[in-house]
Amino acid sequence: MLKVGLTGGIGSGKTVVAGIFRQLGAPVYDADTEARLLTENNSEIKAELEKKFGSDIFLKSGSLDRSKLSSLVFSNPEKLNLLNSIIHPIVKQHFISWLQEQNSPYIIKEAAILFESGSHRDLDRTIVVTAPEEIRIQRVMTRDNTTREKVKDIMKNQWSEEELIKRSDYIVTNDDQTLVIPQVLKLHRLLSSEAEHSK
């Protein structure tokens, strides 16, 4: 089974691309959603977060105060690395378990920080979804009802598109001009064929 990473900066549209792969029958592991669920429900992660960031990052109900945690880590690269070092090993184990349940020529692992977290090392191929910065900013502002400054702050914490392109095997262009579905269909055929030949 071919393990394929899918990444892209905020607003690039990687989730749209993941959805097309899903429609084509490829199992998709959404690392960001799983990380959120594990952060809420995994007692090991919660205990570690409390130890490193203090109990006030939890609400009275016991659930994580995401906005408080975000404000702590987003302007502080050291704290962001610390947060990732708590969450990523457990997400990695969860992905391995999920992988064992799949039976498909290839799978997609969708992750915002595929390279930054080092999880690309466990994959066979990587795809990056790209879009011009201004389009990405506008998409996120509309989607999250947020400001340009906040989007730019998030972008500062992500690797540049140039860096992602350099490290990826394939590119999907999502610039509102180029059709996305034909690009994904082409990759689907390519990956299915490659998986077939690697048996």
- The tens digit of pLDDT for each residue in 32-46 reads 999 989 988 888 899
* Long-range contacts from 162-167, C-beta under 8 angstroms, 24+ separation: 163/115, 164/7, 164/8, 164/9, 164/115, 164/128, 164/130, 165/128, 165/130, 167/115, 167/120, 167/126, 167/128
Cα torsion angle, 38, 32, 101, 121, sign: negative
Closest to 188 (Cα-Cα) out of 6, 5, 29, 25: 25
Q: Give the pLDDT of residue 177.
A: 96
pLDDT at 62: 83
Residue 3 DSSP label: E
- Listed as ranges, residues in the chain with pLDDT below 50 are none
- What is residue 152's predicted lDDT score, i.e. its pLDDT? 92
Q: Tell the burial category of 132 from Cβ atoms under 10 Å away from its Cβ (0-12, 13-18, 19+).
A: middle
**In whole numbers, what is the pLDDT of the chain averaged over residues?**
93
Q: Whole-model pTM?
A: 0.91
Give the residue from 191, 161, 146 showing the smallest Cα distance to 14.
Answer: 161
Q: Helix-strand-coil percent breakdown of the chain, rounded to 5? A: 60, 15, 30
Q: Which H or E run contains 4?
A: strand 2-7
* Total residue count of the chain as it appears in this document: 199
What is the pLDDT, as a whole number, of residue 31? 95
Q: The domain 1-27+104-199 is classified under which CATH number: 3.10.28.10, 3.40.50.300, 3.40.350.10, 3.40.930.10?
A: 3.40.50.300
**How do beta strands 170-173 and 28-30 pair?**
unpaired
Q: Which ranges of 54-179 does DSSP label H, i.e. alpha helix?
A: 66-73, 77-100, 133-144, 148-156, 161-167
Question: In the prediction, which pLDDT does 60 show?
Answer: 85
What pLDDT shows up at residue 76? 83
Query: What are the extents of the domains in the chain?
Result: 1-27+104-199, 32-101
